[in-house]
Chains A and B, each alone.
Chain A
């Protein structure tokens, strides 16, 4: 009896499962220990945490807008468009010149809302054009190639776009003009809340709500879902699959373009040809975190990642005595990606990866 019991335990707890459990427990203890230490030290008040969460939501909503582009394309083509960060860059980088010109001419201070609308149109248009050209030139010829081929192409396209835009616009940093009205604070219940953060969050929510309505309610949205489930049968319904794929890239490009303007308003500095790499990586993390291919998952993943990387360093790392914890927010985001891939590869909302998707 004893032997068989031991054997059975041996079968269930192989070395790898043991290691994974140890990792799980270890992560849990570290997170708990750090958080308790930080909270016990009493250095921060409740309002600080609330401010951090709001800042995280603002940051996260930008990630979410970009993450949706990854997820939409993955849902339809089962492929990660690694050049999507550059689609975002194209919008922000192009619109910054318009913004600078409008500021110089004095138009911007007079009509800030109209300026915002113009920037949004410029940014969304340039991002969309880049996304559609990518699909047409780089990805469509490889539609039936093995999966690794378009993936590598996407990475190549990413570099190509970065240096094309460097060639077009130069390698210097540009700065979005400040939307002065947004940079005040609201005092709510004794807390200072930055208006810009609330604005960023609400603007992104509006975009996402729009996307959700398109996908759920319109004929085009339904066709997109049909194509993402079964291209052959979708074609049998008379759906033009190529057209749906282009529309998907258009929507992803529009969301990324809007994220570009919102990023420029929230963090006006550092607009240059390389600005897409980091948010692209974060948004990809967010998309995987939420469940790649899943639209609400990308929204949730983005917001969660934003909050986690804003609150996490202060809450967890500072309690562990790590100096300058705030500079480790990228590390914490990537560690989370690794942990998600180990423990829940399908993401928060993802369904179990069916064979056709895996």
Chain B
């Protein structure tokens, strides 16, 4: 770990409420450029709320979200996205009645400069040759695996500083889960910082540098992925070891 490296995305003492209900309590997460960081936790542990807080869909009651040194908590989603965060949402949520190409174009909605967009389109085609064959098709007619590819491609089209992924393994066949995580690793190796929120701890830790474990809105464990994989409590609680 390079300590001189300043975090690109940071949650500092973030506390979030839905109305009167406490969702996150004093959450601290640091994501450094070029890293893959995963956030693990079971149902209702606050994983999705964390992402919503980063994206400004929920405003933290305390603490700050900081992107590349700038405070972004308090901005609206559109502004935050424009500053360089994009997300692959849970269950993919493509625009099903629009074509694959239009979905990818929507991913680049905030960008100007057709040259950069064209380059990123090529990059998506390199990652997912299948997507190129399906460009004119309506996204709703694709298989689950293909939709996952388009959803990731759509998020990459924003050319984000940080790519957020909400439960990428959700609703996919096991071989597709493996494939998805291979892709995430590949994207990370190409230089994009990735923040994955997952229930599938084994899979997520296998590609991450660092991991955080969330339990009822609190970070209970934070360490390198390697240490977490060996952590006894971790193994019992999340990795299916009795």
Chain B proximity of A220: nearest CB distance (Å): 10
* Cα–Cα, bound, A225→B98 (Å): 8
Q: Interface code B92-103, partner A: CB below 8 Å = 1, 0 otherwise?
A: 010111100010
Chain B proximity of A242: nearest CB distance (Å): 9
Question: Once the chains bind, are A229 and B89 in contact (CB under 8 Å)?
Answer: no
Question: Once the chains bind, are A238 and B93 in contact (CB under 8 Å)?
Answer: no
Candidates B57, B87, B98, B106; contact of A239 at CB < 8 Å: B106
Name the residue of chain A whose CB is nearest to the CB of B89: A233
Question: Once the chains bind, are B98 and A240 in contact (CB under 8 Å)?
Answer: no
Known contacts A223-B109, A230-B93; A238/B78 CB under 8 A: yes
Question: What's the tally of chain A residues with a CB closer than 8 Å to chain B?
Answer: 16
Question: Once the chains bind, are B102 and A237 in contact (CB under 8 Å)?
Answer: no
Question: Once the chains bind, are B95 and A238 in contact (CB under 8 Å)?
Answer: no
A contacts with B: majority SS: helix
Give residues of chain B (93-123) contacting chain A, Cβ–Cβ below 8 Å: 93, 95-98, 102, 105-107, 109-110
Candidates A219, A230, A235, A240; contact of B95 at CB < 8 Å: A230
Candidates B78, B95, B102, B110; contact of A233 at CB < 8 Å: B95
The verdict on B55 contacting chain A, using a C-beta distance below 8 Å, is: yes
Chain A residues near B154 (CB-CB < 8 A): 237
Chain A residues near B78 (CB-CB < 8 A): 235, 238-240
The verdict on B213 contacting chain A, using a C-beta distance below 8 Å, is: no
Question: Once the chains bind, are B95 and A229 in contact (CB under 8 Å)?
Answer: yes
Known contacts A237-B81, A238-B81; A226/B98 CB under 8 A: yes
20 inter-chain pairs at a CB distance below 8 angstroms, sorted by A residue, are A219-B109, A222-B105, A223-B106, A225-B98, A225-B102, A229-B96, A230-B93, A230-B95, A233-B89, A234-B106, A235-B77, A236-B86, A236-B89, A237-B154, A237-B158, A238-B78, A238-B109, A238-B110, A238-B158, A239-B106
- B: residues with CB less than 8 A from A are 55, 57, 77-78, 81-82, 86-87, 89, 93, 95-98, 102, 105-107, 109-110, 154, 158
